[in-house]
C-alpha cells in the first residue's frame, strides 16, 4: 500500500499504520485515504460511510483533545482487516482521559454542553469502542464491513 503520509509504515496489504502531525487539516485527508483504501478492499458504500464517520471522530479527538493541536506531536492510526471485519486504532501523545467521566450528550441537562458527541458517534458507527488504561488510545471494531 502506498500513502503519501509522513512516517508511514507499510505492512501487509490489509494492515497498515500511518502517523500524522496534530493538525486538523491532516485529519480529513488521512481518513479519506484510509477509507478509499478500504473501498479498494471491498468495503461497500454504506459501510464506508460508517467507517469514515467513526474514524474521523477518533482522529479529530486525538488531534484536538489529546494533543491539543500541538504540531510537534503526532497521532498514530492503525488499520487491520481481519476477514470481513476491520479494526482501527488511534493513539495520541496526550495524557489520556477517562471516557466514563464524559457527560452523556443524550441526557437533557447535557444537550447544550460541549463535548461527548464525538464519542457517541464513534459508538454509533462502530461495533465496539475500547480505550487503553491511560485513555490516549482508542481501539474500534466494525463487524462485517466487506462483502
pLDDT at residue 5 tops 50: no
Q: How confident is the model over 76-111, as pLDDT tens digits?
A: 999 999 999 999 999 999 999 887 776 565 566 655
The whole-number average pLDDT for the span 5-13 is 47
The model carries a pTM of 0.84
How far is the C-alpha of 7 from the C-alpha of 96, rounded, in Å? Answer: 23
Where exactly are the structural domains of the chain? 9-142
Q: How confident is the model over 28-79, as pLDDT tens digits?
A: 999 999 999 999 999 999 999 999 999 999 999 999 999 999 999 999 999 9
- Pairing mode of beta strands 74-82, 9-10: unpaired
What per-residue confidence (pLDDT) applies to 116?
A: 60
Q: What is the CATH number of domain 9-142?
A: 3.30.565.10
Q: Smallest Cα–Cα separation from 138: which of 8, 29, 125, 147?
A: 125
Amino acid at each position: 500500500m502506498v500513502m503519501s503520509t509522513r512516517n508511514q509504515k507499510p505492512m501487509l496489504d490489509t494492515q497498515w499504520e500511518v502517523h500524522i502531525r496534530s493538525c486538523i487539516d491532516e485529519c480529513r485527508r488521512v481518513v479519506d485515504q484510509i477509507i478509499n483504501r478500504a473501498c479498494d478492499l471491498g468495503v461497500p458504500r454504506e459501510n464506508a460511510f460508517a467507517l469514515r464517520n467513526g474514524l474521523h471522530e477518533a482522529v479529530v479527538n486525538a488531534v484536538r483533545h489529546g494533543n491539543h493541536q500541538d504540531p510537534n506531536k503526532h497521532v498514530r492510526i492503525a488499520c487491520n482487516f481481519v476477514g470481513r471485519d476491520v479494526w482501527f486504532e488511534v493513539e495520541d501523545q496526550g495524557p489520556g482521559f477517562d471516557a466514563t467521566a464524559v457527560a452523556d450528550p443524550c441526557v437533557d441537562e447535557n444537550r447544550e454542553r460541549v463535548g461527548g458527541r464525538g464519542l457517541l458517534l464513534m459508538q454509533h458507527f462502530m461495533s465496539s469502542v475500547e480505550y487503553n488504561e491511560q485513555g490516549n488510545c482508542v481501539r474500534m471494531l466494525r463487524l462485517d464491513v466487506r462483502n
